[in-house]
């Protein structure tokens, strides 16, 4: 299973994104992870278990601004 | 006890709302400030509250600002979204809308023009004055006399003239439909603790999906995101939510929204109006039966001070509010510059309570004739 973190602007958008992805049958959970902090100070995102491109497309269609994505395999 | 002061705050609160407040106090951390379980639990509660409010009012969850009161929401709306120019307000406004506007007028930023909400055709009076205005700020329903304003018509006239429409729905939320989607109103401000049944300390600022303005902030501070920036985040809701929010209270509001249904049975209020109007020496101020109205009325007993009336009623366990109800413009418009006794019903009130109340008023009035 692919796992990555999609970085969002706030915890509000993290919950909104998780809800939208869940409605589309994707597993995604709101998180505050070091991955998020690498992108923009403090922040939140969703931990995604599934296809990143599909998730990004769904969120774009819902007007959600994803400001970064960090793959699991890149973690040190 | 008979509680007829629902325009001040609804009472009693639902057991589910009370339980939710207690549970959140037991289990929550600071939302949006950490990634541990208590913080994330709090963030989830806040988001769910936004989501339910967004559904009820026809907007998106991130466009629901969780505020400490309707007054705070109105201050954010007025000072955040209105820059300058002519601003219309009605002659029934509460100080929560008037005072931020007066403050801006005092700073030389805006000019205020009043329209007559009690006119036979309030929308026509509004339409005649809105030309050239940058915004209109008006109540959806009076907290003094229960008069409802024609929301959709006023918004239409405002938009035809390029004016922003800001609505104070403190009294109507929970009593009447207030849909940003259907009416096109730009901004709605309301209390969470009146018709919506939530705890005091909760208010909502609701922004229309179509309104694409980055508001000026009136409060700056920690938001948990964009912490390295000097400015507040540019996006909602965090731009307008600095500092730690009252998570437990919004948990209560969220629980209350689960039970949300509009006030629909006006039979007790109709009985109240009809009975009071038949009592000699009593003057009642509220729209006539058949007109659009809230279950709120004002009355006075000839020869009696309104505060004396409320005090006597309080001694008998009947809760109403005397005085000016923070709405001097409305009292001026109604010609009640000595104040009045306000009676405001909620869903839990019954015809039997109304009968007891009216008997007390009749007895008081009789001693004065």
Average the pLDDT over each of B77-86, B139-148, B287-296 and give the range with the smallest value: B287-296
Task: Indicate if B220 and B323 belong to the same structural domain.
Answer: no
What band does A70 get if pLDDT is binned at 50, 70 and 90? confident
For residue B68, the cross-strand partners are none
Query: Is the domain of B36 the same as that of B150?
Result: yes
Q: Report pLDDT for B151.
A: 97
Q: How many domains does chain B have?
A: 2
pLDDT of B123: 98
Kindly state the average pLDDT of the residues A14-27.
97
A67-71, B137-141, B286-290, B318-322: least confident range:
A67-71
pLDDT at residue A73, rounded to an integer:
58
Residue A40: CATH number of its domain: 3.30.70
Residues B107 and B154 in one domain: yes
At A31, is the secondary structure helix, strand, or coil? strand
Report pLDDT for A71.
Answer: 81
Q: Give the pair of three-digit tokens for residue B34.
A: 């950490």
Question: Per-residue confidence at B325, pLDDT binned at 50, 70, 90?
Answer: very high
- B253 and B267 share one domain: no
Partners of A28 on chain B (C-beta within 8 Å) are: none
Q: Are B194 and B285 contained in the same domain? A: no
Q: What is the mean pLDDT of residues B212-234?
A: 94
B270 shares a domain with B213: no
Closest CA to B16 of B252, B294, B266, B202: B252
Best of A20, A22, A32, A39 to substitute, by most chain B Cβ atoms within 10 angstroms, is A32
Chain A touched by B241 (CB under 8 Å): no
Closest approach of A46 to chain B, Cα-based (Å): 12
Contact B135, B163 (CB under 8 A): yes
B43 and B150 share a domain? yes
Segments forming the whole domain that contains residue B198: 15-258
Looking at the 3D structure of chain A, how many domains does it have?
1
Averaged confidence pLDDT in chain A = 87
Give the residue carrying structure tokens 């729905």: B169
Domain final residue pick, B210, B240, B258: B258
- Taking residues B213-242, what's their average pLDDT? 94
CB contact under 8 Å between A12 and B34, yes or no, is no
- The average pLDDT across B272-276 equals 98
Which of B212, B235, B258 is the endpoint of a domain? Answer: B258
Per-residue pLDDT averaged across B225-247, rounded? 94
A12 contacts chain B (CB < 8 A): yes
pLDDT average, residue stretch B89-93:
98
Which of B28, B31, B35 is the best substitution to test chain A (most A C-beta atoms within 10 A)? B35
Q: Is A45 on the interface with B (CB under 8 A)?
A: no
Quickly list DSSP for B77-117: HHHHH--SEEEEEETT--HHHHHHHHHHHHTTSEEEEEE-T
Q: Rounded mean pLDDT of chain B?
A: 97
B368 pLDDT higher than 80: no
Distance of CA B193 to the CA centre of its chain: 9
- By Cβ distance, the residue of A12, A42, A65 closest to B61 is A12
In chain B, whose CA is at the least distance from the CA of A11? B32
Same domain, B281 and B248: no
Question: Could you report the predicted ipTM of this complex, rounded to two decimals?
Answer: 0.88
pLDDT for position A76: 38
Domain with A22 in it: 3-74
Tens digit of each residue's pLDDT (9 = 90 or more) over B328-361: 999 999 999 999 999 999 999 999 999 999 999 9
How confident is the model over A5-17, as a mean pLDDT? 94
Q: Last residue of some domain: B205, B231, B258?
A: B258
State the pTM of this model.
Answer: 0.95
Scanning the structure block, which residue is given the tokens 């699991």?
Answer: A72
Residue A75 has pLDDT above 90, yes or no: no
Residue B303 pLDDT class (50, 70, 90 cuts): very high
Residue B290 pLDDT level (bands cut at 50, 70, 90): confident
Give the CATH number for residue B311: 3.90.1150.10
Q: CB of B55 within 8 Å of any CB in chain A?
A: no
When CB atoms are compared, the residue of A11, A19, A65 closest to B224 is A11
Per-residue model confidence as pLDDT tens digits over B107-121: 999 999 999 999 999
Of B43, B227, B233, the CB nearest to A15: B43
CATH of residue B141: 3.40.640.10
Residues of B in contact with A13 (CB under 8 A): 62
Residues B74 and B171 in one domain: yes
Residue B61 DSSP code: G
């Amino acid at each position: 299973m692919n796992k990555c973190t999609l970085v969002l602007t706030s915890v509000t958008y993290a919950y909104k994104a998780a809800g939208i992805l869940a409605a589309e049958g994707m597993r995604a959970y709101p998180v505050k992870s070091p991955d998020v902090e690498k992108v923009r100070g403090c922040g939140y995102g969703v931990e995604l278990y599934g296809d990143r491109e599909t998730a990004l497309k769904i969120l774009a269609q819902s007007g959600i601004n994803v400001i970064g994505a960090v793959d699991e395999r890149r973690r040190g | 006890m008979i509680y007829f002061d629902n325009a001040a705050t609804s009472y009693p609160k639902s057991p589910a709302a009370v339980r939710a407040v207690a549970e959140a106090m037991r289990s929550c951390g600071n939302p949006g400030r950490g990634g541990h379980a208590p913080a994330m639990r709090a963030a989830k509660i806040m988001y769910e509250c936004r989501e339910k409010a967004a559904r009820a009012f026809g907007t998106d969850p991130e466009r629901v600002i969780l505020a400490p009161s309707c007054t705070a929401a109105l201050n954010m709306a007025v000072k955040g979204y209105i820059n300058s120019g002519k601003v219309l307000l009605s002659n029934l406004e509460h100080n929560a809308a008037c005072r931020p506007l007066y403050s801006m007028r005092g700073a030389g930023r805006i000019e205020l023009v009043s329209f007559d909400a009690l006119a036979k055709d309030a929308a026509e009076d509004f339409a005649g004055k809105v030309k050239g205005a940058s915004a209109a700020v008006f109540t959806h329903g009076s907290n003094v006399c229960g008069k409802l304003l024609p929301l959709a018509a006023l918004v239409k006239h405002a938009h035809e003239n390029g004016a922003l429409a800001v609505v104070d729905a403190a009294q109507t939320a929970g009593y009447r439909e207030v849909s940003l989607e259907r009416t096109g109103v730009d901004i709605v401000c309301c209390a969470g603790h009146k018709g919506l049944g939530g705890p005091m300390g909760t208010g909502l600022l609701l922004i229309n999906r179509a309104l694409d303005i980055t508001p000026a902030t009136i409060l700056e501070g920690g938001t948990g995101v964009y912490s390295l920036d000097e400015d507040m985040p540019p996006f909602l809701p965090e731009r307008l939510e600095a500092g730690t929010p009252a998570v437990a209270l919004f948990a209560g509001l969220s629980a209350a929204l689960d039970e949300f249904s509009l006030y629909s049975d006006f039979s007790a209020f109709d009985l109240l109006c009809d009975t009071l109007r038949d009592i000699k020496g009593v003057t009642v101020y509220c729209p006539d039966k058949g007109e659009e109205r809230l279950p709120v009325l004002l009355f006075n007993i000839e020869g009696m001070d309104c505060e004396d009336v409320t005090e006597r009623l309080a001694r008998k366990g009947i809760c109403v509010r005397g005085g000016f109800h923070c709405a001097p413009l409305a009292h001026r418009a109604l010609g009640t510059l000595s104040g009045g006794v306000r009676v405001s019903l909620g869903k839990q009130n019954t015809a039997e309570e109304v009968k007891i109340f009216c008997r007390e008023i009749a007895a008081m009035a009789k001693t004065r004739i």
